[in-house]
């Protein structure tokens, strides 16, 4: 199966995406990740104003298959959370790069973030 991997995003080995197109970095899980999880039924997000270090477990996604921690790829302060996924966790399945984003954080894209081509190669292995 081919997964959607937008070229304008940055990616992590743990299947989070980073969008640096706004005032803060927007973080979510990839199409590959949501497919592996199955139907998402619950989401827990970090608190606005919470300080995070890169690699911290900061959110939880529960699906019919598993409960998975989401790790922040960026060190910074959470500036916004997507309350829409709390009410409609299935947005992670139906629109992972749009309405299914998780949180925004101030900070910088890490040097080890993957481009779309490298991430695509990783998910096809």
Q: For 44-100, what is each residue's pLDDT tens digit?
A: 999 999 999 999 999 999 999 999 999 999 999 999 999 999 999 999 999 999 999
The runs of H, that is alpha helices, within the chain are 31-37, 84-87, 91-94, 116-123
In this prediction the pTM is: 0.95
The pLDDT assigned to 90 comes to 97
- Return the closest-CA partner of residue 72 out of 49, 42, 103, 96: 103
User: Over the chain, what is the mean pLDDT?
Assistant: 95
Distance CA 109, CA 76 (A): 11
Residue-level pLDDT at 2: 80
Residue-level pLDDT at 124: 83
Average pLDDT rounded to a whole number, residues 108-120: 95
pLDDT of residue 1: 58
């Amino acid at each position: 199966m081919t997964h959607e991997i937008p070229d304008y995003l940055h990616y992590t080995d743990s299947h989070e995406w980073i969008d640096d197109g706004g005032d803060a970095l927007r973080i979510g899980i990839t199409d590959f990740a949501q497919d592996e999880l199955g139907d998402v039924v619950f989401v827990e997000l970090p608190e606005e104003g919470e300080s995070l270090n890169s690699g911290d477990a900061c959110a939880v996604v529960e699906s019919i298959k598993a409960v998975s921690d989401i790790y922040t790829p960026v060190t910074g302060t959470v500036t916004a959370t997507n309350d829409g996924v709390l009410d409609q966790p299935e947005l992670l399945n139906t629109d992972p790069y749009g309405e299914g984003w998780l949180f925004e954080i101030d900070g910088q894209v890490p040097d080890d973030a993957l481009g779309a081509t490298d991430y695509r190669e990783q998910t096809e292995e």
